Structure 1
Amino acid sequence: MDLQHKLFQSGTSSQHRNNMLQSHRIVVERQWQETIDPQKLVLGKVLGRGSFGVVHRGTYEGQTVAVKVLDFGDSKITEATMAFLKEDFIKEVNVWQKLNHPNVTKMIGATMSMTKSCRQKIKKTKTESNFCIVCEHIKGGSLRSYILKNRHKKMPFKTFIRMALDIAKGLSYIHSQKVIHRDVKPENMLVDKQHSTIKLIDFGESIFEPSELFFTTGERGTRGYMAPEVVSRKPYGRKCDVYSFGICLWEIYCCDIAYTYNLDNLTPDIYQEMRPSIPINCPRSLAHLMERCWHIDPMKRPEMKEVVVALEEIEMLEECEDLPAVRGCFPLFGLERYKSRRNVDRCTVRNQ
């Protein structure tokens, strides 16, 4: 269990708590090792900006890479805040560097001591730091961008299933490594056009899963994808990622955004009842899987390895001659909608 969560649950005095946190940070920093040579890193143009970082295209030892440079915002941050940011950075690196899977973006290394030579192609901004993570460069952009670009087109059903399986396999793998992502959303998934795969990225909110459920001191992740138990600050574990996956599954199938309005001011009791409306043309087996993934009770959600099996079974339905080969990004209408539901149900019964 994370030390800060332990202290939050206990009645530890403020002074003792601060002392323990300081000791914990010292231990974390002693575990830090530079895993790249900053002299060999060169930053190029900005590819994107997030809440806590700026992503550049760069080169490292002749290889094109993506470089996430932490953005600390105010350059006048306090020493205490810097200590927290440094600890969070080390935690992200410690989690990410242990992961190795085709559906997880590969981390190459990290440094907390970028040099002037790193920035010979750009000017350092006031908000960027010397903390950076270097990972493989994926040319296809985010899954969110892909969805928005293709929302007026038809997506082959096999493309949808391939994407869903890639994400499910990536999450199943990180869960097998006792890691909880805690910010599963299309923005944190990259489309690798070269290998036709989806890869998870951004482990800034990720933690190693404790042996027991734990309380969090605040919300983690992004509302709309965040599990109700996280919003309510109740005990949670890896099933929070399963909930997030369920929302992503809906968005990929519908080529749309589940919630287009601000959810920040919703109370936990209202938030926990919210779910996207599943299109009537959605295959029954797929609709059932979405509903299981975003069930309000985490114990009733499937494990990600079970989701992989369920998606593979749904993929087999494509071989049924009555199942439409192409699924549109928008709901079908009239008789076509009725035929779609009827054909899927016939296929389901045939395979039971």
Structure 2
Amino acid sequence: MKEKSEGGGGYVRADQIDLKSLDEQLQRHLSRAWTMEKNKKKEEEQEARSTRQEWEIDPSKLIIKSVIARGTFGTVHRGTYDGQDVAVKLLDWGEEGHRSEAELASLRAAFTQEVAVWHKLDHPNVTKFLGATVCASELHIQTDNGHIGMPNNVCCVVVEYCPGGALKSYLIKNRRRKLAFKVVVQLALDLARGLCYLHSQKIVHRDVKTENMLLDKTRTLKIADFGVARIEASNPNDMTGETGTLGYMAPENLRPEIPRCCPSSLANVMKRCWDANPDRRPEMDEVVAMLEAIDTSKGGGMIPLDHPQGCFCFRRYRGP
């Protein structure tokens, strides 16, 4: 009950306030506000999902852990995505203010076009692309001391994790022991099949090297790192040549002498692929057929580096 005061105002007697009723009204009000906020958040999430690209990851499902490799433009981390072991490649486009908005927009457009192609690829000899995000500011790297945030100009690519590491590391690790000829041919065959598939999709990798070939737990080779891959132009003259690791190298350096201990069946494949006339080089599906036809029982294995006959060649089996 409100009473009149001399100043024209009023007051309410405390003993006449229904506290229980007020509490119920407050609870109803808070419940309505909470429900409205919850519905608003749900609508925003649904809208974000509807506008999200097919290949975009859900940042909340990604855990980024320790660094497993470093490169010129970023780092590769071990991680998990939705409970699956993954490799997370973080590409750094430079510190804030280092690039103009136009440059950043161009980089984002090129990155978006690239991952839009990669996410459609599906082949046992091509690293499985799981997703990406153009803005990694929502992501955090997990450390022993907590979490580290990401700068704005970092984009993120998530791919399957290959525990065997890079082919280059595998070859270096085995440089003092003989690899079975069938193992070497199988690695070459895996690579050829992967490239054959990419070419069938009109994709040219343009940076095929042992660092960009990964091995899974069964030693299956998978092509990785599509950083310079491009969709094949309808006119080959439209393809830019200055890309990849090597800007220019003399043909005699790219085509070294094949050791005499290399089995002729494999040496012949190499010679055909190295033909000075590009029109006479085999298509990749033909390379696959040639490698499949090799009888690996006639090769002993790869000679260790310190063997007097040479390096990275093969020794024929001579019997007991």
Under a length normalisation based on structure 2, what TM-score does the superposition of the two structures give? 0.73
Where in structure 2 are the equivalents of 1:270-281 lying within 5 Å? 271-274=250-253, 275-281=255-261
Where in structure 2 are the equivalents of 1:1-352 lying within 5 Å? 33=54, 35-75=56-96, 76-121=98-143, 122-124=147-149, 129-192=153-216, 194-217=217-240, 219-223=242-246, 231=248, 271-274=250-253, 275-314=255-294, 316=295, 318-319=296-297, 323-330=298-305
Identical positions, percent: 46
Structure 2 SS opposite 1:190? strand
- AA in 2 matched with 1:272: P
Q: Quick check: 1:88–1:204 contact (8 Å CA) kept in 2?
A: no
Q: Quick check: 2:55–2:115 contact (8 Å CA) kept in 1?
A: no
Deviation, structure 1 residue 175: 0.8
Q: Residue 247 of structure 1 aligns with which residue?
A: none
Q: Quick check: 1:43–1:58 contact (8 Å CA) kept in 2?
A: yes
Deviation, structure 1 residue 98: 1.5
Deviation, structure 1 residue 205: 0.8
Q: Residue 7 of structure 2 aligns with which residue?
A: none
Deviation, structure 1 residue 216: 4.4
Structure 2 SS opposite 1:51? coil
Structure 1 SS opposite 2:77? strand
Q: Quick check: 2:133–2:156 contact (8 Å CA) kept in 1?
A: yes
Task: Name the CA distance, whole Å, in 2 between partners of 1:174 and 1:218.
Answer: 18
Q: CA RMSD in A?
A: 2.7
Deviations 1:104-147 (A, max 9, x none): 11001111233445335442476x83411111111111001111
Under a length normalisation based on structure 1, what TM-score does the superposition of the two structures give? 0.67
Deviations 1:217-256 (A, max 9, x none): 5511121xx7xxxx5xxxxxxxxxxxxxxxxxxxxxxxxx
Task: Name the CA distance, whole Å, in 2 between partners of 1:46 and 1:110.
Answer: 18
- AA in 2 matched with 1:297: N
Structure 2 SS opposite 1:83? helix
Structure 1 SS opposite 2:80? strand
Task: Name the CA distance, whole Å, in 2 between partners of 1:325 and 1:272.
Answer: 30
Task: Name the CA distance, whole Å, in 1 between partners of 2:238 and 2:274.
Answer: 20
Higher relative contact order (CA 8 A, sep 6+): 1
Task: Name the CA distance, whole Å, in 2 between partners of 1:108 and 1:284.
Answer: 40
Deviation, structure 1 residue 51: 2.0
Aligned residues: 259
Task: Name the CA distance, whole Å, in 2 between partners of 1:203 and 1:140.
Answer: 19
Task: Name the CA distance, whole Å, in 2 between partners of 1:171 and 1:120.
Answer: 35
Describe the shift of the 1:134–1:324 C-alpha distance in structure 2 as closer, same or farther (beyond 3 A): closer
Deviations 1:33-75 (A, max 9, x none): 5521112212111111112221111111111211111122444
Deviations 1:143-163 (A, max 9, x none): 011111111111111110111
Task: Name the CA distance, whole Å, in 2 between partners of 1:117 and 1:206.
Answer: 26
Q: Quick check: 1:42–1:119 contact (8 Å CA) kept in 2?
A: yes
Deviation, structure 1 residue 291: 1.6
Which structure has the highest helix share of the two?
A: 1
Q: Quick check: 2:263–2:299 contact (8 Å CA) kept in 1?
A: no
Describe the shift of the 1:133–1:290 C-alpha distance in structure 2 as closer, same or farther (beyond 3 A): same
Task: Name the CA distance, whole Å, in 1 between partners of 2:56 and 2:139.
Answer: 17
Which structure has the highest strand share of the two?
A: 2
Q: Quick check: 1:111–1:133 contact (8 Å CA) kept in 2?
A: yes
